[in-house]
Amino acid sequence: MAGKPKLHYTKGRGKMESIRWLLAAAGVEFEEEFIETKEDLEKLRNDGVLLFQQVPMVEMDGMKMVQTRAILSYIAAKYNLYGKDLKERAWIDMYVEGTTDLMGMIMYLPFQPADTKEKNLALIIERATTRYFPVYEKALKDHGQDYLVGNKLSWADVHLLEAILMVEECKADVLSAFPLLQAFKGRISNIPTIKKFLQPGSQRKPPTDEKFVAVVRKIFNM
pTM across the whole model:
0.95
Residue 149 resides in a domain: yes
Q: How far is CA 127 from CA 103, 107, 135, 147, in A?
A: 11, 14, 11, 22
At 97-114, the pLDDT tens digits run 999 999 999 999 999 988
Task: Round to whole Å and give the CA distance between 171 and 181.
Answer: 15
Same domain, 126 and 144: yes
For residue 11, the enclosing domain spans 6-79+198-212
Percentage above 70 pLDDT, the chain: 99
Structural domains of the chain, count: 2
Give the per-residue pLDDT at 2. 63
pLDDT in tens, 81-91: 999 999 999 99
CATH number at residue 132: 1.20.1050.10
pLDDT in tens, 118-157: 899 999 999 999 999 999 999 999 999 999 999 999 999 9
pLDDT at 222: 77
Per the domain annotation, does 109 fall within a domain? yes
Residue 23 belongs to a domain: yes
**202 and 173 within one domain:** no
Instruction: Please check whether residues 94 and 187 belong to one and the same domain.
Output: yes
Q: What is the mean pLDDT of the chain?
A: 95
Running DSSP on this structure, what letter comes out for residue 112?
Answer: S
Beta bridge partners of 43: none
Mean pLDDT of 183-211: 95
pLDDT value of position 1: 44
What is the CATH classification number for the domain harbouring 10?
3.40.30.10
**Is residue 90 classed as helix, strand or coil in its secondary structure?**
helix
pLDDT the model gives residue 114: 86
Is pLDDT at 117 greater than 90 in this prediction? no
| Nearest of 20, 58, 71, 32 to residue 198 by alpha carbon | 20
Residues 123 and 72 in one domain: no
